[in-house]
Amino acid sequence: MRAAIGLDLGTSGLKALVLDEEGRKRAEARAGYPLHTPRPGWTEQDPQDWARALKEVFRALAPKLSGLEVVGLGLSGQMHGAVFLDREGRPLLPAPLWNDQRTEEEVRWMEEVVPRPELIRRTGNPAVTGFQLPKVLWLKRHHPDLFVRVHRVLLPKDYLGFLLAGAQATEYSDASGVGAMDIARRVWDGELLQALGLVSDLFPELGESHRVVGGLRPEWAEVLGVKAGVPVVAGAGDNAAAALGLGISRHRKGVGSVSLGTSGVLFLPLETPTPDPEGRVHLFCHADGAYHLLGVTLSAAGSLEWLRKLFPEASLETLLREAEAAPLGALGLYFLPFLAGERSPYLEPRLRGAFLGLSLAHTRGHLVRAVLEGVALSLGVVHRVMRHLAQAEAYLATGGGSGSDLWLALLAGALETPVLRVVGEEGAARGAAILALVGTGVYPSLEEALRATQPEAVPGPPPMEGVGALLPDYEAWVELLLERYRREP
């Protein structure tokens, strides 16, 4: 039985999944690593910790591969991070991550040099603090002694590809989140980079997600217990790979996904590169050769986890039961889920969360209910931007928060769109493995691979009536908060 290994380099750990040619999970392994926050707003990780995790998951998988022919490995991982390599391929400093906010000044400068409408026209997005390109400018400005030693800047998953196969390469889905790629022509935008004082040679070779970028080095093959030279496939950024794992692509029009993980993510496929003119949601390349829209609420299940820690005496199940007993609207209590700033549709890293409308009548259950509703309403605002650009007939729900019927009902009400629950394995590692099965010829096309491996989806709870009526008050509270931050320099 032929099989592929998908690797997903997440923010909290590395996941490896073995997927056979019939789309069945045969084995998996995980390894964690620390997240460092040396200053407020900074998040980074040590690429050497990723290498140690890679060795750990390979050792865990090796005894589980009996009876399987591993035909390839596919890559996925957190987008937007920056791994700065010298000419010998050594990381020069810890890698700033997707949610790192140190580049606010660089983002402002970028939009002074290249106006926001022009950036959106070229790259599909405005300048965003979390993207990789502002991180490169930050290093050049603050650490010129290190910057002159930079030979190549890789995305996190592509650093795994460099370790495994010696390749300094990337693919369109992840590269479109750098902030430096001409999204229509799918090339590094030399004119844009020149205007910013950079050169295209800093960035790796571009290509399709299913292409082979190299063969597995002997030292890694020995750890995994397979032959050296097993093909390593470029893969995709985590959101695009996760969408493939769900069977979401240009071949399944009108179906998107909504993830209730640490962050909340809305994903909608798109045939042509059509950005929101104001850049309120992201436009990226999809791993299927087309495009997709992406809207992100940075603190979704992360907001619920934050609140849960404030009540250590109660289990999560207890808190959710209390929230279910509270009425819709939580007696006028609103929660704005901006605990880590906000991405879509405000692009404001300084935004902070708030409970608004608190009174003596409110209990713990009302607080939990307000958090669930606040996240749903936040994603509802994002959906209203996206639905004018792409078809949205149904969303497949994933992530830990999708296990709550109450949360899914609130979400379906806010989105005004059916939300389905996925049965079985899902995630970016699955999508990376599917791309490896295509890249190594097990499937002749991605469309056929997705048709064969698509997981089952069942109806979620019906949309909760009345959720949409909460949106005007929610948006009014957000506008009040935005005005405060707009007054600050």
Residues acting as catalytic residues: 238
Q: Is 469 helix (H, G, I), strand (E, B) or coil?
A: helix
Beta strand ranges found along 138-227 (DSSP E): 152-154, 181-182, 187-188, 212-215
Cα–Cα–Cα angle for 44, 399, 211, rounded to 5 degrees: 70
Alpha-carbon radius of gyration of the chain = 22
Q: Which of 465, 437, 470 is nearest to 452 (CA)?
A: 437
Spatial separation of the C-alpha atoms in residues 485 and 489, rounded to whole Å: 8
Burial 381-397 (b: 16+ CB within 10 A, else e): bbbbbbbebbebebbbb
Reported as type and span, the H/E element at residue 377 is: helix 364-386
User: Is the four-CA dihedral 409, 411, 413, 418 of positive or negative sign?
Assistant: negative
Burial 341-372 (b: 16+ CB within 10 A, else e): bbbbbbbbbbbebbbbbeeeebebbbbbbbbb
State both tokens at 309.
Answer: 């820690």
Spatial separation of the C-alpha atoms in residues 126 and 170, rounded to whole Å: 21
Cα–Cα–Cα angle for 417, 10, 156, rounded to 5 degrees: 115
Q: Which of 462, 280, 304 is nearest to 375 (CA)?
A: 304
Q: Is 228 helix (H, G, I), strand (E, B) or coil?
A: coil
Q: Which of 5, 4, 7, 3 is nearest to 159 (CA)?
A: 7
Reported as type and span, the H/E element at residue 146 is: helix 144-147
Spatial separation of the C-alpha atoms in residues 264 and 366, rounded to whole Å: 21
Helix axes 156-165, 47-61, angle to 10 degrees: 60
Beta strand ranges found along 194-246 (DSSP E): 212-215, 231-237
In the block, tokens 């030292």 appear at 219
Question: If you write DSSP's letter for every residue of 283-344 in order, what string do you get?
Answer: EEE-TTSSEEEEEEES-SHHHHHHHHHH-TTS-HHHHHHHHHHSPTTGGG-EEE--BTBB-T
In the block, tokens 């032929």 appear at 2
Spatial separation of the C-alpha atoms in residues 375 and 299, rounded to whole Å: 8
